[in-house]
Amino acid sequence: MRAPKPFDPESCRSQFPILTEPPGGLPLHYLDNAATAQLPAAVLTAVRRHETMSRANVARGVHRLAEAATAAYEDARSAVAGYLGVTDADEIVFTGGTTASINLVAYSFGETLGPGDEVLVSELEHHSNLVPWQLLATRRGVALKVLPVTEEGRLDLDRLPSLVSKRTKLLALTHCSNVTGAITDIGPIVAAAKSVGARVLIDGAQRAPHGPLDLPALGIDFYALSGHKLYAPNGVGVLWGRRELLSKMPPFMGGGGMIAQVDLETGTSFADIPRRFEAGTPPIAQAVGLGAAVRWAQALDWAGIAQHEARLTGRILDGLGAIKGARVIGPTGLQGRLGVVSFTLDGVHPHDLCQWLDRKGVALRGGHHCAQPLAKRFGIAGTSRASLAPYNNDADIDALLAGLEDARKRFA
Ligand SMILES: Cc1ncc(COP(=O)(O)O)c(C=O)c1O
């Protein structure tokens, strides 16, 4: 593959129509990328081209458009496999998003679990990687174990040995916290799982938008991600799973497209993976958009982006350090973290702060970020969160820090 061009933040930014021509001509400093990232022109063009030139259902029709749609959908699967370092594209299941991917595993893999079995989650998971396991626990009598979080907002991996045992069947943990930005060290998790024959599911919603991966090399078994955080449209996500596991798992949803043969007398047999897990009409244009997004992302200089984002993250952390009453929830240094920075400001509710900043064109997210157990752990109701993408620049950080200083004066 050709070496990527050195990263140029302004040329990257210029590829995002919503940033170059913000709606209503108002300033836009978009720092809510952990919730949903923006779409580059390459993705908008690919989706439009698909919808105007090859819109049809997939894997059913034999007419020209149906064949073009099927080819585009399968081409997107190959592109996603490439981005994730997966050689067998059939291991890529298109879903509705991270939540749908994790629920798929909780229901399907979860069918093999019962009383006496345990699933390990953590205190800093997004509700998407907690509630499906709580539902499984209720449904099948499986016990949930919870890995605690350190003061720095990281998984306390030192506690793994006391929480993992022969009863553990699955460790379901995040690759990067959507609140603290801490990146998980996967190695010790895989080692702990292997020592007892357990499987590992990683919630990649926050990590996947920050550069290509080599999932098989991580030694994990399942990985979940969302398209809309990865510069692609809403409504599509991915579950990657090892073939030997996926092909033994029962279907999660039944319907068209996921069967081999349906017979009212002899019963129904199911399609091979990935179709077995893609019941009904899949999100075709969205998947095509995701294929374009990962191809676009794969051509970027991620080492350059990491440096750029670390510099901007450092500016946010330093700026917060200088604001009276500001407290960072998560690592205060740049080691082992991504550009997701959560903080509180004394005497200011996160929603008020986010509304105040919105008037200055700064888009942040305020609240518990679907991680209520983590908020409880830190004794807070919620935080304000700034989260970066490659297209953010110094002007975004200037606007954020100036707005925070104003807010402190206004609300203090
Ligand atoms: C870490 C993490 N996991 C899961 C999700 C859920 O993603 P989705 O709503 O796209 O299914 C999110 C969304 O914010 C997230 O940040």
- Assign residue 289 the CATH number of its domain: 3.40.640.10
Q: What are phi and psi of 190, to 5 degrees?
A: -65, -40
Both 213 and 333 in a single domain? no
Q: How far lies 101's CA from each of 180, 185, 235, 237, 378, in Å?
A: 23, 22, 12, 7, 29
CA 306 from centre of chain: 17
Of 247, 268, 298, the domain-final residue = 298
Both 378 and 278 in a single domain? no
Q: How far does the chain reach from its first CA to its final CA, in angstroms?
A: 54
Both 337 and 376 in a single domain? yes
pLDDT digits (tens, 9 = 90+) for 291-306: 999 999 999 999 999 9
- 38: in domain: no
Of 251, 268, 298, the domain-final residue = 298
Choice from 126, 133, 223 to test ligand 1 binding pocket (greatest atom count within 8 A of CB): 126
Give how many domains the chain has, as a whole number: 2
143-147/118-122 β-pairing = parallel
Q: Hey, which bits of 283-382 come out as E strands?
A: 326-329, 340-345, 362-363, 365-367
Both 72 and 217 in a single domain? yes
- 213: in domain: yes
- 196: in domain: yes
Of 298, 327, 344, the domain-final residue = 298
- 127: in domain: yes
- Element of type H or E holding 383: strand 383-387
Is residue 16 packed enough to be buried (19+ CB in 10 Å), middle (13-18) or exposed (0-12)? buried
Q: What does pLDDT average to over the chain?
A: 96
Range of the domain at 320: 9-30+301-411
Judge if the beta carbon of residue 103 lies within 6 A of ligand 1.
no
Both 196 and 282 in a single domain? yes
Judge if the beta carbon of residue 203 lies within 6 A of ligand 1.
yes
Known catalytic membership, residue 370: yes
Give the nearest ligand 1 atom to 100 CA.
Answer: 11
Look at residue 37 and tell me whether its pLDDT is greater than 70. Answer: yes
CA of 370 to the centre of ligand 1 (A): 8
Q: What is the mean pLDDT of residues 147-153?
A: 97
- CA–CA distance, 159 with 149 (Å, rounded to integer): 10
pTM: 0.97
Angle made by CA atoms 350, 353, 356, in degrees to the nearest 5: 150
Both 102 and 219 in a single domain? yes
CA of 350 to the centre of ligand 1 (A): 20
Both 336 and 280 in a single domain? no
User: Which pLDDT score is estimated for 60?
Assistant: 76
Both 308 and 394 in a single domain? yes
CATH number, domain of 310, equals 3.90.1150.10
Which pLDDT band holds residue 195 (cuts at 50, 70, 90)? Answer: very high
- CA–CA distance, 136 with 144 (Å, rounded to integer): 9
- 373: in domain: yes
- 239: in domain: yes
**171 and 192 in contact (C-beta within 8 Å)?**
yes
Judge if the beta carbon of residue 101 lies within 6 A of ligand 1.
no
Judge if the beta carbon of residue 122 lies within 6 A of ligand 1.
no
- 40: in domain: no
Q: Which residue's alpha carbon is nearest to atom 15 within ligand 1?
A: 205
Which pLDDT band holds residue 8 (cuts at 50, 70, 90)? Answer: very high
CA of 226 to the centre of ligand 1 (A): 7
Both 24 and 49 in a single domain? no
User: Which pLDDT score is estimated for 25?
Assistant: 87
Is residue 152 packed enough to be buried (19+ CB in 10 Å), middle (13-18) or exposed (0-12)? middle
- CA–CA distance, 355 with 406 (Å, rounded to integer): 13
- Element of type H or E holding 196: helix 186-196
Choice from 179, 370, 387 to test ligand 1 binding pocket (greatest atom count within 8 A of CB): 370
- 395: in domain: yes
Q: Which amino acid is at 401?
A: L
Name, in order, each residue with C-beta under 8 angstroms of 113's C-beta and a sequence gap of 6 or more: 119, 136, 140, 142, 169, 170
CA of 3 to the centre of ligand 1 (A): 31
Both 372 and 282 in a single domain? no
365-367/383-387 β-pairing = antiparallel
Give the nearest ligand 1 atom to 97 CA.
Answer: 11
User: Which pLDDT score is estimated for 1?
Assistant: 60
DSSP annotation of 210 reads G
Both 287 and 305 in a single domain? no
Both 220 and 284 in a single domain? yes
State percent of the chain over pLDDT 70. 99
pLDDT digits (tens, 9 = 90+) for 331-366: 999 999 999 999 999 999 999 999 999 999 999 999
